C-alpha cells in the first residue's frame, strides 16, 4: 500500500538540513503523480566516496516511494568546476579526464540505486548544443549584482583573488539542467544552496514551476572534522577493499557515527534508537557491516568483521598480509625508505612522522628512530598505523 503524504514527508525529511519549501513538496506529493527528482554529480575524480552517497541514499528513498529519479552526470559543467566553497579557481580538467571519470560513476551509483528505474543523463546533451543566442538569453535571467552577492565570490573579490568569468556561468548552467529535465525536486549538499536557489529562478524565467530544494548535510570524514574529501585524506571510498572499508568505518568517532547512521543506513529510526541504547562499539560494527555489505557483499562484511576482531580486538595479524622480496643494500635498508618504497606512506616525510609518533612496528616492536637501519637479511613484519601490514623478505 502506497505511503500517505505525511509518511512520505517523514521519510524524505530524515537527515535533511533544509527544505525549500516543505509546503511546495507537500503540494507536489498530493498530486499523486511520480515526481522527477534530480541530483547532479560532476565527474571531477574517478572514484566516489561515502560523502557522495548521501545524496544517492536519499535518491533511493524517493525511488522506493515510486518517484522518477534522474542521476545527472555533469560532464559539461565539470569543464568549469563547481566554485562552491572554493577560494580560488579550480584547475581545468581535460576532456579525456572527464570522460574517464564519468565512465565509472554510473556503475558505482548502481551499488545503491535501482538500475532499471534510474534515468541516467549527461548534461552535455543540452548544454553542448546551446547556441550563442540561447546562452545570451540564459545569462539575461540573472543579474551580476546578485551573482557576486554569493559569499565565496564576494570574498574572493574582497581578497583580490581572481574570479574568472566562466565561474559565473556555473550556477546558470546548473539551473538550465533543471529546465531541460523539468525537475520537480533537486537534491544537493548544504554547500550548494546558492546554485540550487538560482535554479529555481531560472526555471521560473522559462515558464516552469520552481523545483523543491532538499539539502543534505556534508558528511565528515574519518577525522570527524573536515568534510569527506580525497584532498583531505579522510575519505572512505566505495571501491576500497572490504577490510579497509570496515576498518575506516570503525575508526570514525562515536558521535560522528550516529550521523553516518542517519545519512547512510537503511535501518529505520526505531532500529537506530535501539542501537543507541547499546554499546557504541556494537553499533559501529553493525554500521561497518551494513556499509561493506552494500558495496561488496554480506559474506565480505562478515569476513571483514572477523578480520577486524582478530587484528584489533585480539591484536593479531591479518590473514592476507601482502609480501615483498627485496635485496639487502650494502649499507643496510633504511626504514623510512622501506616504508615509502612499499607504499605504506605517501612520502618519506610522512614515513618519518609516523615513526616519530610511534606508529610503526617491526615484528611487533615499536620503532621510534627515523634513522633506523635494517642491517641483517631476514623476514620482517611491518605495521604502519592501525591497518597497514606488510611482510618483507630482505636479502634472502
What length does the chain have?
A: 396
User: Over 80: is that where the pLDDT of 88 sits?
Assistant: no
- Long-range contact set of residues 367-373: C-beta below 8 Å, sequence gap at least 24: 367/335, 369/335, 370/335, 370/336, 371/334, 371/336, 372/334, 372/335, 373/331, 373/332, 373/333, 373/334, 373/335
Half-sphere exposure of 336 (CA within 13 A, CB side): 15
Contacts of 126 (CB under 8 A, 6+ apart): 176, 177, 180
**Amino acid 133: pLDDT:** 95
Cell of 23: 509546503
Tell me the pLDDT tens digit for each residue of 224-248: 888 888 777 788 888 888 888 888 8
CA–CA separation, 247 and 237 (whole Å): 12
Picking from 39-53, 184-198, 236-250, 308-322, which range would have the lowest pLDDT averaged per residue? 308-322
24-41 as b/e: b if 16+ CB within 10 A: bbeebbeeeeebbbbbbb
CA–CA separation, 179 and 211 (whole Å): 9
Percent of the chain with pLDDT over 90: 32
Tell me the pLDDT tens digit for each residue of 338-395: 888 888 887 888 888 888 888 888 877 778 888 888 877 777 788 887 778 888 888 7
The total of other beta-carbon atoms located within 10 Å of residue 176's CB is: 24
CA–CA separation, 265 and 327 (whole Å): 48
What pTM does this model have?
0.73
Q: Is the dihedral of CA 348, 349, 351, 352 positive or negative?
A: positive
User: Over 60: is that where the pLDDT of 87 sits?
Assistant: no
Cell of 131: 547556441
249: closest CA among 112, 59, 49, 58?
49
User: Over 90: is that where the pLDDT of 60 sits?
Assistant: yes
Tell me the pLDDT tens digit for each residue of 105-115: 878 888 889 98
Look at residue 374 and give its three-state secondary structure: strand
Average pLDDT taken over every residue of the chain: 85
CA–CA separation, 349 and 345 (whole Å): 9
Q: Do residues 85 and 35 make contact, with C-beta atoms less than 8 angstroms apart?
A: no
pLDDT band at 90 (very low <50, low <70, confident <90, very high): low
Q: Do residues 14 and 181 make contact, with C-beta atoms less than 8 angstroms apart?
A: no
208: closest CA among 172, 169, 181?
181
* Torsion angle (degrees, nearest 10) of CA 265, 40, 202, 131: -170
Tell me the pLDDT tens digit for each residue of 6-31: 999 998 988 899 999 899 999 999 99
Amino acid at each position: 500500500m502506497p505511503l500517505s503524504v505525511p509518511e512520505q514527508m517523514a521519510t524524505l525529511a530524515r537527515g535533511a538540513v533544509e527544505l525549500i519549501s516543505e509546503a511546495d513538496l507537500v503540494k507536489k506529493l498530493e498530486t499523486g503523480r511520480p515526481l522527477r527528482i534530480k541530483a547532479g554529480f560532476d565527474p571531477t575524480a574517478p572514484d566516489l566516496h561515502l560523502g557522495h552517497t548521501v545524496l544517492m541514499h536519499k535518491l533511493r528513498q524517493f525511488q522506493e516511494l515510486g518517484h522518477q529519479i534522474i542521476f545527472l552526470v555533469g560532464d559539461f559543467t565539470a569543464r568549469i568546476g563547481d566554485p562552491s566553497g572554493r577560494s580560488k579557481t579550480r584547475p581545468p580538467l581535460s576532456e579525456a579526464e572527464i570522460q574517464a571519470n564519468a565512465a565509472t560513476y554510473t556503475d558505482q551509483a548502481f551499488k545503491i540505486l535501482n538500475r532499471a528505474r534510474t534515468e541516467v543523463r549527461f548534461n552535455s546533451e543540452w548544454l553542448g548544443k546551446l547556441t550563442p543566442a540561447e546562452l545570451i538569453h540564459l545569462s539575461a535571467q540573472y543579474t551580476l549584482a546578485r551573482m557576486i552577492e554569493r559569499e565565496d565570490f564576494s570574498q574572493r573579490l574582497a581578497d583580490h583573488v581572481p574570479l574568472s568569468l566562466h565561474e559565473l556561468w556555473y550556477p546558470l548552467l546548473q539551473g538550465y539542467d533543471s529546465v531541460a529535465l523539468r525537475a520537480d525536486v533537486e537534491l544537493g549538499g548544504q554547500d550548494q544552496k546558492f546554485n540550487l536557489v538560482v535554479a529555481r529562478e531560472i526555471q521560473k524565467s522559462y515558464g516552469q514551476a520552481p523545483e523543491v530544494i532538499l539539502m543534505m548535510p556534508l558528511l565528515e570524514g574519518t577525522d570527524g572534522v573536515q568534510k569527506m574529501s580525497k584532498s583531505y585524506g579522510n575519505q572512505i571510498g566505495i571501491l576500497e577493499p572490504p577490510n579497509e572499508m570496515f576498518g575506516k568505518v570503525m575508526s570514525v568517532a562515536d558521535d560522528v557515527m550516529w550521523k553516518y547512521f542517519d545519512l547512510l543506513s537503511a535501518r529505520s529510526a526505531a532500529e537506530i534508537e535501539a542501537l543507541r541504547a547499546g554499546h557504541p562499539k556494537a553499533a559501529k560494527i553493525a554500521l561497518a557491516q551494513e556499509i561493506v555489505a552494500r558495496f561488496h557483499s554480506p559474506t565480505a562484511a562478515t569476513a571483514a568483521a572477523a578480520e577486524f576482531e582478530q587484528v584489533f580486538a585480539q591484536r593479531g595479524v591479518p590473514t592476507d598480509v601482502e609480501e615483498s622480496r627485496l635485496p639487502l643494500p650494502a649499507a643496510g635498508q633504511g626504514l623510512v625508505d622501506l616504508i615509502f618504497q612499499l607504499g605504506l606512506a605517501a612520502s618519506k616525510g610522512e614515513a618519518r612522522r609516523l615513526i616519530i609518533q610511534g606508529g610503526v612496528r617491526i615484528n611487533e616492536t615499536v620503532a621510534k628512530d627515523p634513522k633506523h637501519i635494517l642491517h641483517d637479511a631476514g623476514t620482517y613484519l611491518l605495521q604502519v598505523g592501525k591497518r597497514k601490514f606488510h611482510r618483507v623478505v630482505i636479502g634472502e
